[in-house]
Amino acid sequence: MFIDAHQHFWKYNPGEYSWINDQMNVLKRDFLPDDLLPELKQLNFDGSIAVQARQSLEETYWLLKLADEYDFVKGVVGWVNLCSLYVQKQLDEFSQNPKFVGVRHVIHDEPDDRFMTREDFRYGIGLLSKYKLTYDLLLFPKHLPLAAELAASFPHQKFVVDHIAKPGIKDRIHSPWNKDIRKLAKLPNVYCKLSGMVTEADWIKWKPGDFRYYLDIVFDCFGEDRLMIGSDWPVCIVARNYGEVMSIVIDYLSQFNATIQIKVLGENCRNFYLTRNTH
């Protein structure tokens, strides 16, 4: 089973998607399962993981409804208020749906760089393993040291880094991302998504070779069992179409044997999100 480990759906309105600026006009419309399905089929992918794009319980309900209607949506990484006194009630309710596989919070938009150290947030994180839920780490490179502290504090919680933590690919910035991602990768409960790289590159002029250094680093430190491909569709189309974006990783994988390719293109994602097991 080949799975796109990271994509989004939305019904566009400017109030709830204020991050979509005028450089991203192509995103100012609805993106729904019927739009993604032909893209998956063209690459012979079997399904996807739908990830939250706005921080609301309403969206989580909506994504789960879509997942129930479309079999190819294999799981939903939704949003709950991990800092709320009612977080356990929210988790109780959403966990009744088997397609609710994980939680994400948009940490890199929090004004407090130390948001992950908040006691109420850590309490919420501490509940997730009870429900066999994963947690997506949406970070900038500056957040990696605190992410390592968080993941080390919860060794039985499964974490995954989205978009290889958004290094400065356009400006060929390597440090301290390269050092800090290696430290995080030493924790066996942390995985990494090969996603979102194209939007950190030059949207117009990027070439496949621009990503090799960063891919070499994450393959070296996470290994073949903790990496998964993701498109970040539809955000990725600001830089190129779905097939071209996915080909960055698919072509890179051609240097490896079929077993490794199968792992990164789907098996690792299935093991991480869809088996509901913990470390």
Say which CATH number the domain at 196 has.
3.20.20.140
Q: Is residue 187 part of a domain?
A: yes
Q: Is residue 166 part of a domain?
A: yes
197 phi and psi angles, rounded to 5 deg: -70, -35
CA 276 to chain centre: 17
Instruction: Tell me how many domains the chain contains.
Output: 1
What pLDDT score was predicted for residue 63? 98
Q: Is residue 24 part of a domain?
A: yes
In terms of Cβ atoms closer than 10 Å to its own Cβ (0-12, 13-18, 19+), residue 139 is buried
Q: Is residue 279 part of a domain?
A: no
What is the extent of the structural domain holding 195? 3-274
Flag residues of the chain having pLDDT under 70: 276-279
Residue 126's identity, in one-letter code, is G
What pLDDT score was predicted for residue 276? 66
Q: Under 8 Å CB-to-CB from 7, ≥6 apart: which residues?
A: 36, 48, 49, 50, 51, 230, 231, 232, 233, 234
Q: Is residue 151 part of a domain?
A: yes
Q: What is the pLDDT of residues 186-236, one digit of tens each?
A: 999 999 999 999 999 999 999 999 999 999 999 999 999 999 999 999 999
What pLDDT score was predicted for residue 278? 39
Cβ contact 238:26 at 8 Å: yes
What pLDDT score was predicted for residue 226? 98
